[in-house]
A and B are shown apart, each in its own frame.
Chain A
Amino acid sequence: MIIKRNAADMAVALASGETSSVALTQAHLDRIAEVDKDVHAFLYVDSEGALAQAALADKKRAAGEKLSPLAGIPLALKDVMVQKGIPTTCGSKMLEGWRPPYDSTVVSKLRAADVVILGKTNMDEFAMGSSTENSAYGPTHNPWDLSRIPGGSGGGSSASLAAFEAPLAIGTDTGGSIRQPAAVTGTVGVKPTYGGVSRYGLVAFSSSLDQAGPCARTVLDAALLHEVIAGHDPKDSTSINAPVPAIVSAAKSGNVKGLKIGVIKELQGEGYQAGVLNRFNESLELLAGLGAEIVEVSCPYFEYALAAYYLIAPSECSSNLARFDAMRYGIRVGDASGVSAEEVMNLTREVGFGREVKRRIILGTYALSSGYYDAYYGSAQKVRTLIKQDFDKAFLKSDVLVSPTAPTTAFKIGEKADDPIAMYLNDIATIPVNMAGICGMSLPSGLADEDNLPAGFQIMAPAMKDDRLYNVGAALEAALLSKWGAPILSHVSGLGAHA
């Protein structure tokens, strides 16, 4: 079945004429129609638009035009990315029905590369969450076990990959929202170096932490997608003005001989599921077997990372979400004769935002308020410096750093919904990467013993050294593939008629 191939192989099929983009796109639309009522990865499917884009790609190919490597390949887009004329909700009631009048830079780049955008995927509201249970439109279900969460905030994107509804997806990562869903769905997800991918058109949650990135089923696919979306954008003042690192060639290289791999002491042990740790350690052994040198490093300030994150991110989001006030776009509630603008704002924001979003707005408002700024936001910014320094020191001793991506496998829907702190702990290993602005990847390390659910292996590299992620990731992926005999996702069963 063509939908089970990876994107690179689909590209070969298109180039050889084995299939057309229209046929490929239709196959995926059929798959979505078949399984998405159970998975609920998509909030909006743009059949007409996707088929039109596919037809255009086919036309260009027939005319002999030089095409991007991913031309004609379908992709799922996290609903936090603005796409002109297409409903963009960010998983929130606040933006129900909103059709943006402009395209994000990521979408512009995808369109320029003739990638076919199938539709918008489900997410925790405004990217706040680790389970996609905070979506105003209902949760997404993990294709591995529909009663479980797919991770968050980008659960829809990762689930669509695991359910073979799309071979490629775009996610965004603020504290782990690409990597943690990748880990619990057995897929690959990368958070590029901060500034590596334009944030223009990425609805802001926490501006100094947000980053869009590629999601796929293989390391090479992720690299191909990463190359399409990365690069300097003059519309984003925080965008890196330097050439994109050679990530595709790194992904094709996969050579770790002589590489120093640093294991972060603080990101394992207590709180981490045994089966997750087992798969992690096995992966380390495989890498050592390939010629890498494993060293232990300590990052003592990482224990403050979660606390600092839950001050910085809510603070920035309390300001970023202030624009949702029912005056210019989005829903408007309570507008009646005699009611003031202020009252309409208050009522709309009460109804339009969900619990988690409101909780973080209030927390952020508090952390920034006069009298508390130094103790909370100010201190958190200092922790950030200390975390960066920990990374700098660790990278003196190693080329990449590694850890399990998330402490546990996918938990049941509803299991942690009433315990915010327990929920926040899902990101304990991913958050430090965003705080320092460096890059990180999660790829599957295997299935945990306890529950046969996927666990993720996280690779971290210094800022602007994204190629190192792909090099090490490719090496590990190949070694694991040898060990397993088949891709991990071949174990996903029970979805639809063609499992």
Chain B
Amino acid sequence: MSLKYEDVIEKYEPVLGLEVHVELGTASKMFCGCNTIFGAEPNTQTCPVCLGLPGALPVVNEKAIEYTIMIGLALNCSIAPFSRFARKNYFYPDMPKNFQTSQYDEPICVNGFLDVEIDTDEGIKTFRVEIERVHMEEDTGKSLHMGGATGRIHGADYSLLDYNRAGIPLVEIVTKIVPGTGKYAPEVARAYVAELRDILRSLNVSDVKMEQGSLRCDANVSLRLIGSDVLGTRSETKNVNSLRSVERAVRGEMIRHAELLNKGERVVQETRHFQEETGLTRSGRSKEQAEDYRYFPEPDLVPIVPDATWIETLRAALPEKPSTHRKRLQEAWSVPDKEMASMINADVLEIVEATVNLGADPAKARGWWLGEIARIANEKEVAATDLPITPKDVAEIVALVAAGELTDKLARQVIEAVIAGEGRPSEVIEKRGIKVVSDDGALMAAIEKAISAQPDVAEKVRGGNVPAAGALIGAVMKETKGQADAAKVRELLLKHLGQ
């Protein structure tokens, strides 16, 4: 990309729109009793209803309605007193009925908002993202494209369809357009999806795993000249499978639009697909030849008229908001804003909390997750929470260090080993024979050995050059295979040399 982001935001301001699809974690599907287990053998969780066999009819899953209302309430929406399903008609092999039972002009939740906090140059700022609607629909089947080079649809010879996923309840959350984010559009987008994810998780309505597709994000981006109120043409980006990708996709699209506009070219209104490897988007279907979905009220289902008492019961049972929860933790742990933001950004807040709940000191727990573990995660280009090290492991390590059985240096070794798959901390320690050597006798032996090997250095130290002791300490550490408590070694050594 030739254009730099700074150049883009100098001239243009972005307008965002975000559509998030959530797969609800109900036991059975939206309109039938089939199981919803992820990864089951193909076509083992289907029935006449979700296969769209002739004659089959849908019946609404009550829990799906409950979850949707909870989501709407958590997003400060009004719950519609009267709501209906509608048919969205179009043909595609992954849709058994060739229409999707969804909602059109009578969605179940409308007009909400979600406040997100961004770390800006001027400190923490709050952006309010307004929510247009939250509605229910059903998921499609999954296609495997066969015969082509990449497994993608282009160049495939044929496709194989698995309808296990068809009919799983989906909730679609659509924002109103989000202006005024300026250069922070990518961060706002990411923070919105992250906050939404945390809320959904706290409600226990979905496992919100972006990598498994239970949380999907489509980002709409358009640019307009700063100061103008004429909206630009927007593009829709799909296949955004992680929080990081949300941010990259928005930034990438802003740059792409600006490049076109600067050249005097037109932005095409289309669907684009995000490419993980490059961070760029690829053109998909042109939205200008939009399909006419011929929406009409679903005749096989009857209206939803949620009881007001039921809604209030659900409202009263809503869990603590993630933002409230975070403030509470921040206070309890006495964490400065910047560090709080780091934890949220690295997506480790929850895992740190879990570690603290197992008895670890908050500062120590933070230190390991944001420090050594985050470093390894960055190296491997994964999220810290994806590494095979658990809060229990870290809590154990923190306890061992506190008890003096591990030094910080040894703890780092153990962490690396656990991540490398050598086992749990206790197993690693046993296998590798990691032990802090703090026995004075053993240490003194090593110290004397080091002194006799480097008499001139020892002389310097005796002469008052304390920093020179470093070489001797190093030698002792080497002798003890790093298992000596460095601080103890220094203490003994200096004392021995009269310092």
B388 CB within 8 Å of chain A: no
A319 to B97, CA, bound (A): 8
Asked if residues A104 and B55 are in contact (CB atoms below 8 Å), the reply is yes
A203 to B57, CA, bound (A): 10
Chain A contacts to B: CB under 8 angstroms: 81-82, 88, 90, 95, 98, 100-102, 104, 199-204, 206-208, 234-238, 315-316, 318-319, 322-325, 327-329, 341-342, 345, 365, 368-370, 373, 377
Residues 287-303 of B, flagged 1 when their CB comes within 8 A of A and 0 if not, give 00000101110011110
- Determine the residue in chain A with the shortest Cβ distance to B290: A370
Among B59, B96, B294, B295, find the residue whose CB has the most chain A CB atoms closer than 10 A. B294
B161 CB within 8 Å of chain A: yes
Asked if residues B96 and A368 are in contact (CB atoms below 8 Å), the reply is no
A403 to B405, CA, bound (A): 97
* Chain B, 48-99, CB within 8 A of any chain A CB: 48, 51-60, 87, 89, 91, 93, 96-99
* A319 CB to nearest B CB, Å: 5
Q: List the A side residues contacting B96 at CB < 8 Å.
A: 323, 328
* Chain B, 355-374, CB within 8 A of any chain A CB: none
Asked if residues A323 and B299 are in contact (CB atoms below 8 Å), the reply is no
A203 to B93, CA, bound (A): 20
Asked if residues B89 and A322 are in contact (CB atoms below 8 Å), the reply is yes
* A366 CB to nearest B CB, Å: 10
B159 CB within 8 Å of chain A: yes
Known: A208-B299, A365-B294. A341 touches B93 (CB 8 A): yes
* B154 CB to nearest A CB, Å: 12
Q: List the B side residues contacting A81 at CB < 8 Å.
A: 55
Number of interface residues of B (CB under 8 A): 29
Q: List the A side residues contacting B48 at CB < 8 Å.
A: 100-102
Q: List the B side residues contacting A98 at CB < 8 Å.
A: 54
Asked if residues B98 and A234 are in contact (CB atoms below 8 Å), the reply is no
Asked if residues B54 and A319 are in contact (CB atoms below 8 Å), the reply is no
- Write 26 A-B pairs (CB below 8 A) sorted by A numbering: A82-B54, A88-B54, A201-B56, A203-B54, A204-B54, A207-B300, A237-B59, A237-B301, A237-B302, A238-B300, A316-B299, A318-B89, A319-B294, A322-B91, A322-B97, A322-B98, A323-B52, A323-B54, A323-B97, A325-B93, A365-B294, A368-B89, A368-B296, A369-B294, A370-B294, A377-B296
A341 to B97, CA, bound (A): 15
A210 to B99, CA, bound (A): 19
* B433 CB to nearest A CB, Å: 62
Q: List the B side residues contacting A377 at CB < 8 Å.
A: 296
- Determine the residue in chain B with the shortest Cβ distance to A371: B292
Q: List the A side residues contacting B59 at CB < 8 Å.
A: 234-237
- Determine the residue in chain B with the shortest Cβ distance to A338: B157
Asked if residues B294 and A328 are in contact (CB atoms below 8 Å), the reply is no
Asked if residues A369 and B55 are in contact (CB atoms below 8 Å), the reply is no
New contact pairs (18) apart from A207-B300, A319-B294, A328-B52, CB-CB < 8 Å: A82-B55, A90-B54, A102-B48, A201-B56, A202-B55, A203-B54, A206-B299, A236-B57, A237-B57, A237-B60, A238-B301, A322-B97, A323-B97, A324-B54, A325-B91, A325-B93, A341-B93, A373-B294
Q: List the B side residues contacting A206 at CB < 8 Å.
A: 299
* A43 CB to nearest B CB, Å: 15
Asked if residues B98 and A325 are in contact (CB atoms below 8 Å), the reply is yes
A373 to B295, CA, bound (A): 9
A315 to B295, CA, bound (A): 11
A319 to B296, CA, bound (A): 10
* A375 CB to nearest B CB, Å: 14
A235 to B48, CA, bound (A): 11
A90 to B300, CA, bound (A): 20
A199 to B53, CA, bound (A): 13
Per DSSP, chain A at the interface is loop
* B278 CB to nearest A CB, Å: 29
Q: List the B side residues contacting A207 at CB < 8 Å.
A: 299-300
A235 to B300, CA, bound (A): 11
A493 to B152, CA, bound (A): 67
* B293 CB to nearest A CB, Å: 8
- Determine the residue in chain A with the shortest Cβ distance to B49: A235
* B421 CB to nearest A CB, Å: 43
Residues 331-369 of B, flagged 1 when their CB comes within 8 A of A and 0 if not, give 000000000000000000000000000000000000000
A387 to B160, CA, bound (A): 48
Q: List the A side residues contacting B57 at CB < 8 Å.
A: 199-200, 235-238
Q: List the B side residues contacting A208 at CB < 8 Å.
A: 299
A208 to B296, CA, bound (A): 12
* Chain B, 28-64, CB within 8 A of any chain A CB: 48, 51-60
Known: A104-B55, A315-B296, A329-B53. A323 touches B98 (CB 8 A): yes
Known: A207-B299, A377-B296. A327 touches B55 (CB 8 A): no
Q: List the A side residues contacting B91 at CB < 8 Å.
A: 322, 325, 342, 345
* B170 CB to nearest A CB, Å: 19
A81 to B91, CA, bound (A): 25
* A425 CB to nearest B CB, Å: 25
A456 to B402, CA, bound (A): 95
A104 to B56, CA, bound (A): 9
Q: Contact partner of B302 among A202, A238, A328, A365, CB < 8 A?
A: A238
A201 to B292, CA, bound (A): 29
A325 to B96, CA, bound (A): 9
Among B54, B87, B89, B302, find the residue whose CB has the most chain A CB atoms closer than 10 A. B54
* A177 CB to nearest B CB, Å: 16
Among B48, B56, B93, B299, find the residue whose CB has the most chain A CB atoms closer than 10 A. B299
Asked if residues B51 and A328 are in contact (CB atoms below 8 Å), the reply is yes
Q: List the B side residues contacting A341 at CB < 8 Å.
A: 93, 159
A327 to B58, CA, bound (A): 21
A322 to B53, CA, bound (A): 11
Among A202, A208, A316, A325, find the residue whose CB has the most chain B CB atoms closer than 10 A. A325
A209 to B98, CA, bound (A): 21
Asked if residues A102 and B60 are in contact (CB atoms below 8 Å), the reply is no
* A106 CB to nearest B CB, Å: 10
A234 to B294, CA, bound (A): 29
Asked if residues A319 and B300 are in contact (CB atoms below 8 Å), the reply is no
* A1 CB to nearest B CB, Å: 36
A101 to B48, CA, bound (A): 8
Residues 422-451 of B, flagged 1 when their CB comes within 8 A of A and 0 if not, give 000000000000000000000000000000
Among A206, A207, A238, A327, find the residue whose CB has the most chain B CB atoms closer than 10 A. A327
Among A200, A315, A322, A373, find the residue whose CB has the most chain B CB atoms closer than 10 A. A322
Q: List the A side residues contacting B300 at CB < 8 Å.
A: 204, 207, 237-238
* A238 CB to nearest B CB, Å: 7
Q: List the B side residues contacting A316 at CB < 8 Å.
A: 296, 299
Asked if residues A100 and B54 are in contact (CB atoms below 8 Å), the reply is yes
Residues 156-189 of B, flagged 1 when their CB comes within 8 A of A and 0 if not, give 0001010000000000000000000000000000
* A174 CB to nearest B CB, Å: 12
Q: List the A side residues contacting B58 at CB < 8 Å.
A: 237
Q: List the A side residues contacting B294 at CB < 8 Å.
A: 318-319, 365, 368-370, 373
- Determine the residue in chain B with the shortest Cβ distance to A81: B55
* Chain B, 318-339, CB within 8 A of any chain A CB: none
* B54 CB to nearest A CB, Å: 4
Q: List the A side residues contacting B56 at CB < 8 Å.
A: 102, 200-201
Asked if residues A327 and B299 are in contact (CB atoms below 8 Å), the reply is no
A199 to B60, CA, bound (A): 16
Enumerate the 7 nearest inter-chain pairs by beta-carbon distance, A residue then B residue, closest first.
Answer: A322-B98, A207-B299, A368-B294, A208-B299, A203-B54, A201-B55, A82-B55
